[in-house]
Amino acid sequence: MRKTDALKKIVIEPTKGWACLKLYELWQYRELFYFLALRDIKVRYKQTFLGVSWALINPLMQMFVWAFVFGVIAKFPSSGVPYVLITLSGTIAWSYFSEIVNGAGNAMLTNTNLISKIYFPRLIVPLSVVLRALLDFVIAAILLILMMFYLRVPLSLPIIFLPIFIVLITLVSSGVGLWAAAISVRFRDVGKILPYFIQILFFLTPVAYLKSAIPQKYLWLYYLNPVTGAIDGLRWAFLGITFSWNWLVLQALISVIIFVSGLFYFKRLERTFADII
Amino acid sequence: MSEAIIKVDRISKSYRIGETMRHDTLRDLLSDSFSGLLRKQKKKNPAQDNLVWALKDVSFELKRSEVVGIIGRNGAGKSTLLKILSRITEPTKGRVEICGRIGSLLEVGTGFHPELTGRENIYMNGAVLGMSKREIDRKLDEIIAFTEISKFIDTPVKRYSSGMYVRLTFAVAAYLETEILLVDEVLAVGDLAFQKKCLGKMDDMAKLGRTVIFVSHNMGLVRYLCEKAIFLEKGRVEAIGNSGEIIGKYMKNVLTQENINNSGLIASDKKRVKTSSASVISASIEALDGKSSRQFDIWEPLRVVIDIESFHQDLTIIPWVFIYNSFGDTVLTSFYYDNAEKIKGNQGSRIKCALIIDPNFLMPGRYTISVGIFGPLKVIYDWSEHILSFEIGNSFLSGRQFDGRPGMTSFPYKWEVV
């Protein structure tokens, strides 16, 4: 009897409809976020010759390629900032976005053995990808700051707003990732569609060019894309390129809707995962 | 002490046949929806006959520090029950109340990542099972000591043998301080000494007030470990109570004719472990001259013939036979590789092999056999339990009478004056 009263009672019942999120459970398993991310990071660079330096090589390559294509060949406007900084700042934000969407979208299938054998809140699987992506983001951001230092572009006050934009990208990307993850359990097509989706969105988002290159009449369409706002904001925070707060409210709202709906949709399908994965 | 720690109240679990297959790709969904539009009159007829009840109205209560065995044939719902108790899947109906944390040991190496070292995997697995890092830190040395493979603890587990995998799996779960532990036949792999160690540990756990639920086909183990047993049959609780008694009931059930397809032909609807690599078409018990029989004299040899079909090219097939006595103890396990090379199967090829059982070995009584085949690394291709029964009589046919000696088996070993 000694401990029974203190023990938490677990009730197993069929859940119906839109289950509540059980966020307290995520908190109980908080260390699993860390361990899953740690596992992915450790495994990713095992048996690679260049190891962790891949985290630097990727953004550097993209920076040069896009700067060459958009800055040198197509001669897009650059607001007086070296074009490599425009592409690098865009790239680090975009890589963060696409890694979360891709990673979360495929996370259920790469962790099939865990999901079909052990109980834990399934939300942790796609969400732990954020931690891993954040590490790459930090490494790439340091690279950006070094580049800015080298090209004598000073950091200014707006940098303190950087966290807001990171949160924004995190919300959109993990929201999309959660939708993809939940659907991927049943339809393996998701793994095939995601790369196209990300590639198309790459060109429709001002990653390798500035918003000022977009014709005025299409601008409103761009503003509906929450990633646009986040990347603009990020460029403002790092490089001081002008940015308007007005649209950010709408974009933040869209981000939150995508994220919260993703959470609930995932949670609704969660109970069927072990049966059909 | 008498308070129930697990209360299972009329749980049922249904699967829709083909649920995993239907709409596996978007194209299927689209074409199905489209053809659905054309056949409008067949509107949403929830086909009840497509539902398979893996569990039906299962109820029981377990108290603190009970060690309970769950027995039943393949497909009786044992694994589904464990999956529900460990919250991997939800019941369709019913309710379970559990006081305390649940640890589960459902499969070897679950959650291990091959690239990570043994030590990293201990942390990883501990975290998945709900342990905190501090808790694991505290017990790490004990866990590593228990595995007896401390030398390899910093080696990636992809280089481990299957025995080492089991050691690591069991060690993590054993040191997890949950109030309830679910164990599913992981002990089947691993060497005897380690099995003993695990069994000892399970006993200790019960003494420390932990409740252990143990699913096994090994009646000897269940009788040894569990004071209580639950007999599942076709998704229902057939009997529950003292383990010796329940095992007796189970074996009686297994031995009744209706449950044994004594033709030796394995019906395709019969529930069993099966993959598409190879399957057992039929099994028979016959005398050495090939005459099928169910009744043998203790002085007569007999053979178990297995007919196998391979569905793949160049497939390694290892047949096996288990012989159980009427108490459900495994009297004999025989693998094809004991005395011969492996069998290679080709696509569509039929292979017939026979296990010859020497005379003067099995004692008089009723026996059942299970036959199966596995591939390399003991991946089970097919497994049919208790498909045939036979009887060894203490008959007078040979002119000599059985002397009624005690023992599970007998063998005319050599004596000499020294």
Which pLDDT score, from 0 to 100, does residue B410 have? Answer: 79
Q: Is the same domain home to B140 and B213?
A: yes
Residue B135, domain member (yes or no):
yes
Boundary residue ending a domain (B191, B218, B252): B252
Q: Can you name the residues that pair with B332 across neighbouring β-strands?
A: B323
**In this complex, is the C-beta atom of A269 within 8 Å of any C-beta atom belonging to chain B?**
no
Residue A51, domain member (yes or no):
yes
Counting as low any pLDDT under 50, the low residues of chain A are 1-6
Question: Which residue range forms the structural domain that includes residue A119?
Answer: 23-276
Alpha helices in A111-188 (DSSP H): 112-115, 124-150, 162-186
CB atoms within 10 A of CB A56: 15
List the one residue out of A277, A118, A94 whose CA is nearest residue A200.
A94
Exposure class string for A102-126: b at 16+ Cβ within 10 A, else e: bbbbbbbeebeebbbbbbbbbbbbb
pLDDT tens digits, one per residue of B203-256? 787 788 888 898 887 777 788 888 899 999 888 999 999 988 998 888 888 776
Exposure class string for B249-288: b at 16+ Cβ within 10 A, else e: bbbebbbeeebbbbebebeeeeebebeebbbbbbbbbbee
Q: Do B95 and A11 touch (CB under 8 A)?
A: yes
- Contact list in A for residue B87 (CB cut-off 8 A) is 10, 12, 119
Q: Is the same domain home to B236 and B309?
A: no
Q: Is the same domain home to B239 and B280?
A: no
Paired tokens of B123: 């942390």
CATH code of B200's domain:
3.40.50.300
Describe chain A by its helix, strand, coil percentages, rounded to 5. Answer: 75, 0, 25
Q: Is the same domain home to B136 and B240?
A: yes
Residue A33, domain member (yes or no):
yes
Q: Is the same domain home to B285 and B209?
A: no
CATH code of B323's domain:
2.70.50.60
Distance (Å, rounded) from C-alpha B88 to C-alpha B78?
14
List the one residue out of B381, B382, B58, B105 whose CA is nearest residue B216.
B105
Distance (Å, rounded) from C-alpha A173 to C-alpha A170?
5
Which pLDDT score, from 0 to 100, does residue B29 have? Answer: 57
Q: What is the 3-state secondary structure (H, E, C) of chain B?
A: CCCEEEEEEEEEEEEECCCCCCCCCHHHHHHHHHHHHHCCCCCCCCCHHHEEEEEEEEEEEEECCCEEEEECCCCCCHHHHHHHHCCCCCCCEEEEEEECCEEEECCCCCCCCCCCEHHHHHHHHHHHCCCCHHHHHHHHHHHHHHHCCHHHCCCEHHHCCHHHHHHHHHHHHHCCCCCEEEEECHHHCCCHHHHHHHHHHHHHHHHCCCEEEEECCCHHHHHHHCCEEEEEECCEEEEEEEHHHHHHHHHHHHHCHHHCCCCCECCCCCCCEECCCEEEEEEEEECCCCCECCEEECCCCEEEEEEEEECCCCEEEEEEEEEEECCCCEEEEEEHHHCCCCEEECCCCEEEEEEEECCCCECCEEEEEEEEEECHHHCEEEEEEEEEEEEEECCCCCCCCCCCCCCCECCCCCCCCC
Is residue B83's pLDDT more than 90? Answer: no
Distance (Å, rounded) from C-alpha B347 to C-alpha B344?
10
Which pLDDT score, from 0 to 100, does residue A172 have? Answer: 95
Residue A8, domain member (yes or no):
no
Distance (Å, rounded) from C-alpha A229 to C-alpha A234?
8
Distance (Å, rounded) from C-alpha A92 to C-alpha A234?
10
Q: Do B89 and A113 touch (CB under 8 A)?
A: no
Residue B299, domain member (yes or no):
yes
Q: Do B130 and A120 touch (CB under 8 A)?
A: yes
Q: Is the same domain home to B107 and B248?
A: yes
Is residue B270's pLDDT more than 50? Answer: no
- Please give the single-letter amino acid code of residue B261: N
* HSE-up (13 A, CA, CB side) for residue B55: 27
Which A residues in the span 168-187 are in contact with B, Cβ-Cβ below 8 Å?
A: 186-187
Which pLDDT score, from 0 to 100, does residue A94 have? Answer: 94
Distance (Å, rounded) from C-alpha B251 to C-alpha B386?
10
Residue B193, domain member (yes or no):
yes
Residue A14, domain member (yes or no):
no
The pLDDT of B340-354, averaged and rounded, is 85
Residue B401, domain member (yes or no):
no
- Contact list in A for residue B110 (CB cut-off 8 A) is 113-114, 117-118
Report the number of distinct structural domains present in chain A: 1
Is residue B106's pLDDT more than 80? Answer: no
Residue B32, domain member (yes or no):
no
Per the document, the length of chain A is 277
List the one residue out of B214, B176, B10 whose CA is nearest residue B97.
B10
Are A180 and A194 within 8 A, CB to CB?
yes
Which pLDDT score, from 0 to 100, does residue A143 have? Answer: 92
Q: Is the same domain home to B308 and B204?
A: no
Categorize the per-residue pLDDT at B21 as very low, low, confident or very high, splitting at 50, 70 and 90.
very low
Q: Which residue of B has its CA nearest to A37?
A: B124
Q: Is the same domain home to B124 and B155?
A: yes
Residue B126, domain member (yes or no):
yes
Is residue B135's pLDDT more than 90? Answer: no
- Contact list in B for residue A8 (CB cut-off 8 A) is 99-100
pLDDT tens digits, one per residue of B39-79? 544 444 445 557 788 899 999 999 888 889 998 877 788 88
The pLDDT of B87-95, averaged and rounded, is 88
Which residues, at least 6 apart from A207, have a Cβ–Cβ distance to it below 8 Å?
A66, A87, A90, A91, A93, A94, A231
Residue A42, domain member (yes or no):
yes
Q: Is the same domain home to B70 and B103?
A: yes
pLDDT tens digits, one per residue of A57-103? 888 898 899 989 988 898 888 888 899 999 999 999 999 999 999 99
Are B82 and B184 within 8 A, CB to CB?
yes
Question: Which residue range forms the structural domain that includes residue B236?
Answer: 4-19+50-252
Residue B370, domain member (yes or no):
yes
Paired tokens of B215: 């699913």
Paired tokens of A237: 């925070």
Residue A16, domain member (yes or no):
no
Q: Is the same domain home to B318 and B349?
A: yes
Distance (Å, rounded) from C-alpha B324 to C-alpha B71?
15
User: Does the predicted TM-score (pTM) go above 0.90?
Assistant: no
Q: Do B130 and A3 touch (CB under 8 A)?
A: no
List the one residue out of A202, A206, A251 whose CA is nearest residue A226.
A251
Q: Is the same domain home to B220 and B292?
A: no
Q: Is the same domain home to B159 and B303?
A: no
For an interface test with B, give the residue of A5, A116, A117, A128 to mutate (most B CBs within 10 A): A117
Report the number of distinct structural domains present in chain B: 2
For an interface test with A, give the residue of B92, B116, B128, B135 to mutate (most A CBs within 10 A): B128
